[in-house]
Amino acid sequence: MVAQTGEKRYSDALVIGGGIAGLQAALDLAEQGYKVMVVEREASIGGRMISLSKVYPTLDCASCITTPKMSAAAHHENIEIMTYTEVKSIVPDGDGHLVTVTRKPTYVNADKCIGCRLCEYACDSEFADSFEQGLGATRAISVAFTNAIPQKAVLQAEYCLSCGLCLRACPTDAIEFDQQPRQEQIAAHAVIITTGFQLNGLNIKPQYSAAQSANIISPLTLERLLAPHGPYGRVLRPSDGKIPESVAFVLCSGSRDRTIGVPYCSRVCCMYSIKQAMLLAGSLPTADITIYYMDIRAFGKGYEQFYQNARAMGVNFVRGKVSHIDVAPPDDLMVHVEMTEESVDCVRRQKHDLVVLAQGMIPQWNPSGVSTVTIGEDGFVATPDLASPCATNVPGVFVAGAAAGPKDIVDTIADAGAAAMVAARYLVRCGSKESAQPGGGRSVRLELAV
Amino acid sequence: MAGPFNPELHVDLKRFGAKDLDMCMNCGTCTTICPMSEDSGGGFPRRVIRLVQTGQQKKLESSLDPWMCYFCGDCTLNCPRNANPAEVMMASRRYLTSRYDFTGLASLFYRNPLTEIIAIVLVGLFITALFVFLHGPMVLHRVELNTFAPVKWVELGDWIMAGTLSFFLLAGAVRMTWWTLGRRDMLRVSPMIFIRQIPTFFAHLFTQKRWARCGSHPSLIRWIKHLLLVSGYLSMLTLVLILLRWFQTDHVYPFYYPQRLWGYYATVALLYPTGDFIVSRLRRKEPIHFFTEASDWIFLVMLFLTALTGIMVNVFRVNGFPMATYIIYVIHLAIAVPMLVVEVPFSKWSHIMYRPLSIYLAGVKKAVADSTGKGSDAQALEPAAAA
């Protein structure tokens, strides 16, 4: 599976990012017979979606949708997945692109590792688990998470004590402390950027971060709290493990705000907050749940009904933007808001046990320095041609999902399919006639002039 | 405008300085962050912005809310849309000033700063002309200011000017009272309520004590500077209107004599704050100084120059330069008089009346509401429903 350093390999398409967008695009291309490589920065594919609890508006289990896709992609004969790998440069080369990637050392021989986790059980070094948003602990050598793909251990050198316990525990002698990062070159005809989004931090707005409370949490943290296989197995608030009796969702806390440079709407916060409120109402039946909103943007199919259901369930919707949050000693939080829909007693202070900030979506990856792909004012990959929303300014480089702008899962999957379609069209136009026949199962095999 | 709505109100307000008004999406961050809003029961700045956006001119004219704001700038710093709510409040005050004024001059000056400058120049030229043609004998071997400009004539001029200004200012105050107390409803208010609230008016006229509570640290410092300015201004008025015969004299008193000390105090109390405000507005460090309208510049510069020429008259007089004294005296009056005539009734200085009056009227309204048992003043808090 692993090529030697310096050796150049060929692929029809290269997908950057193994989240739901990347997997969908890769599967759609692979099903048409094209060879696809998926480059993933993390130790497992699955992206953001695999860490979610449930998805709106159907309240389906997120893992139940993502895991089959991950598995299908990992086992597809036309798809090669490279995890723990970062893209260093994308250089146009004839009709295609020469992509240089760095494969970060996992210190585990992937061919030998059988995913038995004996090393993980043996390891003595624990640290906060980023997959659980820091709520649980993981070990210096571990499989990324329960349903990670590939099920291969990764050793994180910065936390490793070099004690050798894992070496002794490993039944296949897969652990290689002497691994080095190595570069590989891939000649790919089409490139699809599906690098997704990140959230813009709990501290971005001083009005909400002054409290510095452990009980002001990210929505992704709440996803883990709500997930059946989450860190606590139930919803507890982080500071003291109390079962929250009053939870507030503060919408638009990281977007639609010019003071923090995110003037656009993140599109998903209204809906996932409603979803989380519904799930909370299920897991904490006696809790008061309040959503502070400016306007509810329930734009998709079935979304408005979903919103109305939440209202009917007793979720309290308050129109008004929270101006700031204080600590209400010892551990509670005081939310300040103007009740803009009421006639008297306008400004209200409301105490909550737990506050969820609906943070803004910002791009995960900036292609500058790696590629000549341009980004828009908002930092997301620019798609200059309105008639071709997946095309970037570079021919043969496409973009899908939240890398091009805030999107929810439904739109991301549709977008990924569209990107696969335009990429396939590009491959047909540029590739040899013979290889471009549908169902041919053959690679375009570009001859790149290097 | 027919009826209570004026669809062009927001366009109007932009001409008074509220340039980013349309950015507002009424999220209410400003109201919540405002340190004054809750105590005043107003729900501002958002509701004031809402009144403007929905063109509710009558309601805006009868609102005291704009005067409850002292421009600490917290709302502008926190506004997620950069709509600059504090500047909208400022523009509303300018707008209200122009509406209270029945002559239409205030409106003209605010909308077109050039007319204000022309008015000032004209009045200045008029004053200069008065002295050029009507001055007394010029004694050149020693300073005899009272021969050049006899104090009794100057005093007469002072009183004529003060009477005129008071007339316009009081006319504005009457219109403000009439509108804000609900027009005809005002007639039903017991006179005792008006009388009992009078101490409020003077307390706020002299101290602006609410301002000290407004916003964060810089506001407190600005309040102290402003207090200094007010004391200087009132000193100047007292010396010029009441004590002119004692103040404008050819006799040179010793340095420690109250007449000189008081004059120096007034000079410092006028020069330091105005100079400081001019520098701050040039540097634009605080939200209050981000935008400076022409009316603000004219006001500050004129006040600064008045104090500067005033002290120069004193310097030349004490040191015995007769011609220089006479010339700078004329310049001094050619700056001070137009400043007072134009600025006090028709421009920025009218706040000296409207600000304390608004707090007085708010007190009256509250007393009326309490006496009729309506609870809090529901009138001011009527929901700003969309048109």
| pLDDT tens track for B182-221 | 777 777 777 777 888 888 888 888 777 777 777 766 677 7
pLDDT confidence bin for B329, thresholds 50/70/90: confident
From chain A, the residues in CB contact with B29 under 8 A are: 321, 323, 338
From chain B, the residues in CB contact with A204 under 8 A are: none
pLDDT confidence bin for A268, thresholds 50/70/90: very high
Beta-ladder partners of A175: A108
Question: According to the model, what pLDDT value does residue A150 have?
Answer: 95
Residue B60's nearest CA partner among B71, B79, B44, B38 is B44
Q: Does domain B9-101 have CATH number 3.30.2320.30?
A: no
Mean pLDDT, chain A, rounded, equals 90
From chain A, the residues in CB contact with B47 under 8 A are: 346
Mean pLDDT, chain B, rounded, equals 82
Inter-chain CB proximity A346 and B79 less than 8 Å: no
CA B136 to chain centre: 35
Query: Where are chain A's structural domains?
Result: 1-104+181-196+364-450, 107-180, 200-361
Q: What is the mean pLDDT of residues A360-385?
A: 94
What is the percent of chain B where pLDDT is above 70? Answer: 94
Are the CB atoms for A281 and A62 separated by under 8 Å? no
Assign domain A1-104+181-196+364-450 to its CATH superfamily: FAD/NAD(P)-binding domain (3.50.50.60)
Are the CB atoms for B304 and B271 separated by under 8 Å? yes
CA B149 to chain centre: 30
Closest chain B residue to A348, measured at CA? B32
Interval B128-156: pLDDT, tens: 888 888 877 777 787 777 777 777 788 88
Query: Where are chain B's structural domains?
Result: 9-101, 105-356
Inter-chain CB proximity B80 and A323 less than 8 Å: no
Inter-chain CB proximity A259 and B382 less than 8 Å: no
Are the CB atoms for B8 and B103 separated by under 8 Å? no
From chain B, the residues in CB contact with A323 under 8 A are: 28-33, 78
Question: According to the model, what pLDDT value does residue B3 have?
Answer: 64
Q: How distant is the Cα of B358 from the closest Cα of chain A, in angstroms?
A: 21
The answer on pLDDT for B342 being more than 90 is no
Closest chain A residue to B383, measured at CA? A343
Inter-chain CB proximity B32 and A294 less than 8 Å: no
Task: Give SS3 for B51.
Answer: helix
From chain A, the residues in CB contact with B85 under 8 A are: none
Query: What is the DSSP annotation of B177-235?
Result: HHHHTTGGGGGGS-HHHHHHTHHHHHHHHHH-GGGGGSSSHHHHHHHHHHHHHHHHHHH
Interval B33-63: pLDDT, tens: 888 887 776 688 888 999 999 999 888 888 8
Beta-ladder partners of A335: A325, A350
Inter-chain CB proximity B31 and A346 less than 8 Å: yes
Inter-chain CB proximity B29 and A338 less than 8 Å: yes
- Architecture of the domain made up of A107-180: 2-Layer Sandwich (3.30)
- Residue B127's H or E segment, with its range, is helix B113-134
Inter-chain CB proximity B28 and A324 less than 8 Å: no
A340 touches chain B (CB under 8 A): yes
Q: How distant is the Cα of A252 from the closest Cα of chain B, in angstroms?
A: 10
pLDDT confidence bin for A447, thresholds 50/70/90: very low
Question: According to the model, what pLDDT value does residue B218 have?
Answer: 62
- Count CA atoms closer than 13 A to A299's CA, side-chain side: 12
The minimal CB distance from B32 to the residues A256, A258, A323 is found for A323
Question: According to the model, what pLDDT value does residue B156 have?
Answer: 86
Mutation site, B23, B24, B25, B27, interface A, largest A CB count within 10 A: B27
From chain B, the residues in CB contact with A259 under 8 A are: 77-80, 82
Tokens of B217: 């640290």
Mutation site, B31, B36, B376, interface A, largest A CB count within 10 A: B31
Q: What is the mean pLDDT of residues A272-286?
A: 95
Sign of CA dihedral A159, A162, A167, A173: positive
Q: What CATH topology corresponds to A200-361?
A: FAD/NAD(P)-binding domain (3.50.50)
Inter-chain CB proximity A294 and B27 less than 8 Å: yes
Inter-chain CB proximity A321 and B378 less than 8 Å: no
**Same fold for the domain at A1-104+181-196+364-450 and the one at A200-361?**
yes
